[in-house]
Chains A and B, each alone.
Chain A
Amino acid sequence: MEARKRQKAVLDLIFGLACVVVGCLAFYASSNVRTSAFERLGAGFIPKIVSGGMVVLGLWLSIASARSVDRKAIGMISFDIKGNLPVIAVLLLFAALAATLETVGFRIGAFAFVALSVWILGGFGRRELLQGIVVGGILTLMVYYGLKELLRLMLP
């Protein structure tokens, strides 16, 4: 229970500080929003209040959580890179799909994405690769003809 509390305090501290940084940047950007000379409540008025609120509450959260943070608590925070590698790879594949969708087209891009993702998440087995190819092929054709031909949706 104590360990969970300490872990939470570290996460709160990081989140609080991140909010302070984002809030400061947002406040700076809001201060530069063009406003007409006759207008008291210009386009930057509400964003300034919102970003100011973020800075204040971010500081509050950081200070409140900093009390429970020490070296031991920081040591408890770890990121299992190896365990998350398949998910990270799939996210990168998704980004690659978005980047190349217009160049390679929907059918090739979607098929490659699904087949490779199933293979990666399934653990790189031969069976999973086969499943990926079958699911990718069927799904791509279904989505393409279902959405484009039947529902007249635009696809890249």
Chain B
Amino acid sequence: MEVLLTAIAHVFNPVSLLLIVGGVFFGLLLGAIPGLTATMAVGLIIPVTFGLAPELAFPLLVSLYVGGISGGLVSASLIGIPGTPSSVTTVFDSYSMTKNGQPGRALGLGSAASLWGGLASAVALVTLAPPLAKFALRFGPFEFTSLFLLTFACVTAVTGESRVKGYLALLLGLFLSMVGMDPINGIERFTLGYYQLSAGFSQLPALIGLFTLSEVVSGAKRGKKPTIIAAQRFSVVKDFIETLFVIPKYFFLFLRTTIMGVAIGTFPGIGPGLANVLCYAQAKAGAKHPELFGKGSEEGIIGAEAGNNAATGGALIPLLTLVLTLGVPGDTVTALILGAFMLHGIQPGPLLFRTNSQFVTIIFVAFFVANIVMWLLQLACSKIFIKALSTPVYILAPVILLFCAVGSFAINNRVFDIWVFVLFGLIGLAFIVFRVPLLPLLMGLILGKNFEKEFRTALIVSKGSLAPFFTRPISLALIIISVLLVIYLTRLSARAQKTLANTGK
């Protein structure tokens, strides 16, 4: 109780609160602009957090995450383009509602569903994370290896049209993570004579490069000025207050999609994007009038937005708990936050709950507060976000690139990392051209070194035998879950694509 009260006092300290409000605002702003995502918002701000204490830096990053995911709603509702991948299905009904002359209601409903979904996932985070952390303390190298395999299986199961390309992306990511000293003997590998690579590629420039450069370039290519068609006048306050109390009317739909969102977010490597699609599909499947979906259905908006925001809390659970020496990110944003943990010298994982419970509680409280701030900011600043939609991409693109250069440099104070950013940016661009999913590459890159360490340690312990992987109960259970999940997620992913194809026509 004392820890909780201290954490609340810390989060409501003026500096911390200002950072949370600023973080949510910046996240909403970037999320609202099509082509700019929560991943980019977090990636751009991580270098800025170097100058901050972890107790201030991580609430800021969590706020950016919440804001970035919710920001996609603005452009989805008003211009019919999902601001982020996690608002893909929100477009179907919220934009139809806008076209029916109710833009305020569309925004209000989406924000209210995001708020309640986010708060529910915060509760799930607080209740599920500690027992999971306790359980994860039983893990040894065999269990960790199996857990990494589970993560890789999840990531590649939802890669869409070609699973082989997903596996190839994963293998490439794994290989790139092995550049530098090997984790057991410290032997230098694949550095091509660059001493800067002896510790491997700097993770953050690589991650920012993979996502930001490709997004900026494709955004700059799309056109100079976005077209805003929602210039209609609407009363934000009235609509927002009204819609806040519409949610209880759809309580069971909300409950179903929120639980589903949290559960999907908890799977390593899968985040709000898939949650948005699957929760929409779930809402449609359980609706009395599924024929209204795609034509401005309130249930469609609530299902999609409650689902994606519920997944944000779910995605933080594996990051904070699942692995003793390294968290497993729930999605791309939590992957970046994981990089930030390491940069700040914090080892995520279950031990955090023992060694630094105060810090973890601060993150929980900040996540809770960020969701409320998100709704208030949507209410107060909707018109600003609408204006942000009209910012020409030709101005935004160079600004973002400059921030990326500064961020990449600031990590180790060396220009070499800007080149790492460029290299991975080009890899990201090539992946987009060849329609290869980026997430498996990212997961391989982040988790590769630890996967190798745990796998080799396990093999050294077992003198090269693979049998303990199948005789130790937790390891065997994880392997069985991996196989079952691959089958289940493959089916779910196919269903999500079918929903997208059917409703998005």
- Chain A residues within 8 Å of B, Cβ to Cβ: 8, 11-12, 14-16, 19, 22-23, 26, 29-30, 33-36, 39-47, 50-51, 53-54, 57-58, 60-61, 64, 83-84, 86-87, 90-91, 94-95, 97-98, 101-102, 106, 110, 113-114, 117-118, 121-123, 128, 131-132, 135-136, 139, 143, 147, 150-156
B18 within 8 A of A: no
Q: CB-CB < 8 A to A45: which residues of B?
A: 456
The reply to whether A11 and B433 contact each other, CB–CB distance below 8 Å, is: yes
Residue of B nearest to A95 (CB): B422
Q: Is the pair A33, B187 in contact by a Cβ cutoff of 8 Å? A: yes
Contact A33 B189 (CB under 8 A): yes
A143 to chain B: which residues have CB within 8 Å? 402-403, 406
| Distance of A33 from chain B, by nearest CB (Å) | 5
Q: Does B476 contact A (CB under 8 A)?
A: no
**Which residues of chain A have C-beta atoms less than 8 A from B187's C-beta?**
33-35, 42-43
Q: Which residue of A lies closest to B221 (CB)?
A: A87
Highest count of chain A CB atoms <10 Å: which of B175, B455, B456: B175
Tell me whether A118 and B394 are in contact (CB under 8 A).
Answer: yes
Contact B415 A102 (CB under 8 A): yes
By DSSP majority rule, is chain B's interface helix, strand, loop, or mixed?
helix
In the bound complex, residues from chain A placing their C-beta under 8 Å from that of B175 are 26, 47, 50-51, 54
- Among A61, A122, A151, contact of B168 (Cβ-Cβ < 8 Å): A61
A-B contact count (CB 8 A): 166
Interface of A is mostly: helix
Contact with A along B97-136 (1 / 0, CB 8 A): 0000000000000000000000000000000000000000
**CA gap between A27 and B399 in the complex, in Å:** 40
B195 within 8 Å of A (CB atoms): no
Q: Which of B382-415 contact A (CB under 8 A)?
A: 392-395, 397-399, 401-403, 405-406, 409-410, 413, 415
In the complex, are the beta carbons of A153 and B224 less than 8 A apart? no
Residues of B with C-beta under 8 A to A154: 409-410, 413
Q: Chain A residues near B193 (CB, 8 Å)?
A: none
Beta-carbon nearest neighbor of B162 in chain A: A12
Instruction: Check A121/B164 contact, CB under 8 A, given A84-B221, A152-B51.
Output: no
Q: What residues on A are CB-neighbors of B220 within 8 Å? A: 86-87, 90, 121
**Is the beta-carbon distance between B399 and A98 smaller than 8 angstroms?**
no
Task: Tell me if A60 and B410 are in contact (CB < 8 A).
Answer: no
- 18 A-B pairs besides A43-B182, A118-B398 with CB distance below 8 A are A11-B433, A11-B434, A16-B168, A22-B172, A29-B190, A34-B187, A36-B185, A41-B464, A43-B184, A43-B189, A46-B174, A58-B168, A87-B221, A121-B394, A122-B392, A132-B398, A139-B402, A147-B51
